[in-house]
């Protein structure tokens, strides 16, 4: 992943500790892992439409997965973070999320913990000071670059024709035929483009202005980052506002509003089956 050339075991270990540490929130109860759950079959999301922050307030955007996030060109639904380190620093200071008042406050809090003083020194040798807010972001990014998932679809692309069953292969064919791949392309099947949500017909659930809030450009109204479809079967509810309650509904809506296609029940079922083949093999729930 971009930036991995600077990762070291010490930096990754520090980033992992920070990722799971609730002391990065104002109430000592929220961590990065609260919204981006890992382990025990979790796919880097919380499974909620909106997660309640440190002060009990709900955000307005659904938490995207952190799996494979280091390959994305930008982060967040509106693309306001340029890389993983930039992304890692923002929720900690967001008043509706972890609600820490300033970078200096975070650094001061961590500096009172001897284990962190030592861990930052090991992770950033030669830096003076080593414990900085920018280095916190870099450490979390180092850990997040280890969160990678490879799917059965990758095996299929490498030539294993048995990696996908007949319905999954039918779903891939339908995915290509109706041109889902126009936006969901590349190694991540998405994660590289910005597109207007409701390109052909209006998005039926909510009025979020999307990237317009970042750029102020009228042409960016209702424009969002195209999400990666890797692990999408495990990361519901779907859409930027979590309004997609089931994956078949989300597939059907996207076909209609983005491609002007009314998918048949069989096409929806086949595409959903194919999307399940994009689950990381360690998360694959196929029996």
Measured CA to CA, the distance from residue 277 to residue 152 in angstroms comes to 6
3-state helix, strand, coil in the chain (%, to 5): 40, 5, 50
- Nearest Cα neighbor of 227 from 106, 62, 115 is 62
Measured CA to CA, the distance from residue 35 to residue 190 in angstroms comes to 21
Catalytic residue among 57, 97, 115, 192: 97
Phi/psi at 38 (nearest 5 deg)?
A: -130, 155
Measured CA to CA, the distance from residue 232 to residue 209 in angstroms comes to 23
Q: Residue 160 class from Cβ within 10 Å (0-12 exposed, 13-18 middle, 19+ buried)?
A: exposed
Catalytic site includes residue 10: no
| Alpha-carbon radius of gyration of the chain | 20
Measured CA to CA, the distance from residue 91 to residue 98 in angstroms comes to 6
Residue 203's alpha-carbon distances to 37, 58, 197, in angstroms, are 28, 22, 6
Q: Residue 10 class from Cβ within 10 Å (0-12 exposed, 13-18 middle, 19+ buried)?
A: middle
The DSSP-derived string for 245-283 is -SHHHHHHHHHHHHH-----HHHHHHHHHHHHTTSBTTT
**Quick one: tokens of 119?**
């861990």
Point out the residues that are catalytic.
97
């Amino acid at each position: 992943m971009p930036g991995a050339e600077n990762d070291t075991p010490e930096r990754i270990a520090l980033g992992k500790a920070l990722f799971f540490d609730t002391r990065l929130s104002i109430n000592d109860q929220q961590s990065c892992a609260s919204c981006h759950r890992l382990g025990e079959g979790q796919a880097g999301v919380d499974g909620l439409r909106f997660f309640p922050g440190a002060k009990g307030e709900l955000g307005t955007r659904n938490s995207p997965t952190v799996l494979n996030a280091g390959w994305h060109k930008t982060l967040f639904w509106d693309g306001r973070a340029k890389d993983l380190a930039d992304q890692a620093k923002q929720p900690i200071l967001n008043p509706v999320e972890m609600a820490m008042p300033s970078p200096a406050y975070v650094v001061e809090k961590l500096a009172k913990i001897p284990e962190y003083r030592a861990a930052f020194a090991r992770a950033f040798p030669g830096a003076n000071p080593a414990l900085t807010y920018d280095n916190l972001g870099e450490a979390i990014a180092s850990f997040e670059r280890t969160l990678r998932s490879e799917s059965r679809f990758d095996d299929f692309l490498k030539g294993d024709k048995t990696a996908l069953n007949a319905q999954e292969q039918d779903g891939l064919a339908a995915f290509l035929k109706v041109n889902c791949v126009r936006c969901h392309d590349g190694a991540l099947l998405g994660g590289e483009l910005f597109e207007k949500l409701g390109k052909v017909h209006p998005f039926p659930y909510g009025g979020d202005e999307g990237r317009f809030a970042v750029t102020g450009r009228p042409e960016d109204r209702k424009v969002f980052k195209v999400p990666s479809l890797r692990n999408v079967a495990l990361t519901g509810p779907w859409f930027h506002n979590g309004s997609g309650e089931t994956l078949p509904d989300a597939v059907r809506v996207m076909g209609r509003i983005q491609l002007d296609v009314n998918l048949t029940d069989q096409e929806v079922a086949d595409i959903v089956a194919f999307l399940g083949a994009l689950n990381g093999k360690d998360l694959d729930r196929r029996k």
